[in-house]
Structure 1
Amino acid sequence: MCPIVVLFIQHLPGGIPRQSAPFLEPSAGLVPALLTASVLAFALAWLSSVGGVGGGVLMLIALTALFGLQVALPTLALTQLASNGGRVWFNRRAVQWRLITWYALGAVPFALAGGLLLPYVPVEPLKRVLGAFLVVTVLWRRFRPAPAVPADRTFAAVGAGCGLASALFGAAGPLAAPFFLVKGVLGSAYIGTEAAASLVIHLTKIVAYGAGSLLSVHVLLLGLALTPAVVAGAWLGRRTVARMNARTLVLVIEGGIVVAAILLLAGI
């Protein structure tokens, strides 16, 4: 953890707002909180790089516990920007850019709308709806092993749903994962393409959070402090994926979807 960043956050006028981070009221508690967040960011960036899903949901839980939801959501967007950017770069030769173009057509406007609506929308009931949908998608894949392959243009609708869900819940990688798998995007192509799709959403969310006054100096500094950890996790994940076969990778991805679904259904 960068000591300069820590000291700068501690000496900002007023420190970290009490309503945003009650856990960190004493400035002495900031350093261990940032160290904890960095370790978790590294581990979950690795998890996202291996399975493509799950890391964002778990990171949101950790950041919320440490800093409060209003700080956690925009901070997660910044850390995911670094994590997904690293995954795209490490897998850049395998990214399916045509799918990303269609995905972005739906994701950008809906992520922007979701980011602006975040302060006004009750997200708890919607979390459970999303969790139930994820369970259905996994069961559907298991009981219908040869589903129809979606057309490229279908990913505009997938992007719209993911953009809105990500802006409201913090992460929506599990929602897109089944569609990429059915499309036959596997291995490094899956990891890089899913990361590029997420990158589109996180860039849009950052703009929306900024317009909604959620992107404070405190959040920017927290995101900066966690960036080295998430990039390192993405790099290690790329090396891990290179040693996995396609079947194992699909099982890991589906496992991540199920974990994310359970957490959403539990309202976490």
Structure 2
Amino acid sequence: MLFVQHLPSELSRQSASALEPSTGLLPTLLTASVLAFALAWLSSVGGVGGGALMLIAFTALYGLQVALPTHTLTQLASNGRRAWFNRHAVQWRVITWYALGAVPFALTGGLLLPYVPVEPLKRVLGGFLIVTVFWRRFRPPRAVPADKTFAAVGAGCGLASALFGAAGPVAAPFFLVKGFIGSAYIGTEAAASLIIQLTKIVAYGAGSLLSVHVLQLGLALTPAVVAGAWLGRRTVARMHAQALVLVTEAGAAVAATLLLAGI
């Protein structure tokens, strides 16, 4: 998983040409489309992991300054599609509480980014995820969290997304503890992520990061993301509920390991 580190200084080091299409645009775009398709499928099946890996791939192909807003645009398509496919199972009351925390903290995180020591926080977050996954696996909680608890979950996820670039694994353990599985988990997690992505789009627009090139890339990659989400929905329909839980927990564990490794 790639999480954003020292963003302002890194962006300032990148030249303005990073925002312009390269001469090898078509091969790179084809590679990005294949990766976007595969990782959108992964997100649709497990709910976490695919979006973060997509950010890694886009950064390798386009550089951080282009990758961040492009990733956000494609995640709008991916999460919007997953939320729509599973709209009848989305837990809207939980989403309402989640949004109350997520929106203001995502905006606040964007403002605090230049002043926060990201590296130590990454390892704290990784440790938290590891403990959460193992605790749920070996000491299942007896009490189901109340809906209003997700205001705090949303606040943490909004802040993590603004500071690190992705926050799906943070929310996943809480949705699982709440008892969401199958379409309820996939749809609710997608709707929650969509709220944060929309908030980040506002921030990127205010920061002039949504260049014409970024918008073109986002539009070009959207069909691959939508196709991956569609295939993922069909895969979920054939999977046992327990298998979905295992995939989700594995994704959170991998994300935690990468965080602890400083990736």
Q: Aligned partners of 2:243, 2:177: CA distance in 1, in Å?
A: 16
Q: Aligned partners of 2:82, 2:258: CA distance in 1, in Å?
A: 24
Deviation at 1:138, TM superposition (A): 0.5
**Counterpart of 1:42?**
37
**Counterpart of 2:4?**
none
1:234 and 1:228, CA in 2 relative to 1: closer, same or farther beyond 3 A?
same
1:121 and 1:223, CA in 2 relative to 1: closer, same or farther beyond 3 A?
farther
Q: Which ranges in structure 1 are unaligned for 5 or more consecutive residues?
A: 1-16
**Counterpart of 1:3?**
none
1:26-65 pair list within 5 angstroms: 27-65=22-60
> Is the contact made by 1:64 and 1:71 (CA closer than 8 Å) also made in structure 2?
yes
Q: Aligned partners of 2:261, 2:254: CA distance in 1, in Å?
A: 11
**Residue of 176, 179, 183 corresponding to 1:184:** 179
> Is the contact made by 2:19 and 2:214 (CA closer than 8 Å) also made in structure 1?
no
> Is the contact made by 2:21 and 2:213 (CA closer than 8 Å) also made in structure 1?
no
Deviation at 1:191, TM superposition (A): 0.3
> Is the contact made by 2:19 and 2:66 (CA closer than 8 Å) also made in structure 1?
no
Q: Aligned partners of 2:83, 2:238: CA distance in 1, in Å?
A: 18
Matched residue of 2:24: which SS? Answer: helix
Q: Aligned partners of 1:130, 1:215: CA distance in 2, in Å?
A: 29
**Residue of 248, 254, 259 corresponding to 2:249:** 254
Residue identity opposite 1:68 in structure 2: G
**TM-score, normalized by length of structure 1?**
0.88
**Counterpart of 1:150?**
145
1:123-202 pair list within 5 angstroms: 123-202=118-197
Deviation at 1:202, TM superposition (A): 0.3
> Is the contact made by 1:86 and 1:231 (CA closer than 8 Å) also made in structure 2?
yes
Deviation at 1:143, TM superposition (A): 2.1
Deviations 1:92-137 (A, max 9, x none): 1111000000000000011112233445544333222211111111
**Counterpart of 1:208?**
203
Q: Aligned partners of 2:119, 2:211: CA distance in 1, in Å?
A: 25
Number of positions where the alignment pairs a residue of Structure 1 with one of Structure 2: 252
> Is the contact made by 1:158 and 1:176 (CA closer than 8 Å) also made in structure 2?
yes
Deviation at 1:167, TM superposition (A): 1.6
Moved more, 154-163 or 133-142: 133-142
Moved more, 117-126 or 255-264: 117-126
1:26 and 1:219, CA in 2 relative to 1: closer, same or farther beyond 3 A?
closer
Residue identity opposite 1:87 in structure 2: R
**TM-score, normalized by length of structure 2?**
0.90
Q: Does 1:265 align with 2:260?
A: yes
Deviations 1:34-62 (A, max 9, x none): 11111111100000000000011111111
Residue identity opposite 1:260 in structure 2: A
RMSD (Å) for aligned C-alpha atoms:
2.1
Deviation at 1:21, TM superposition (A): 8.8
Q: Does 1:106 align with 2:84?
A: no
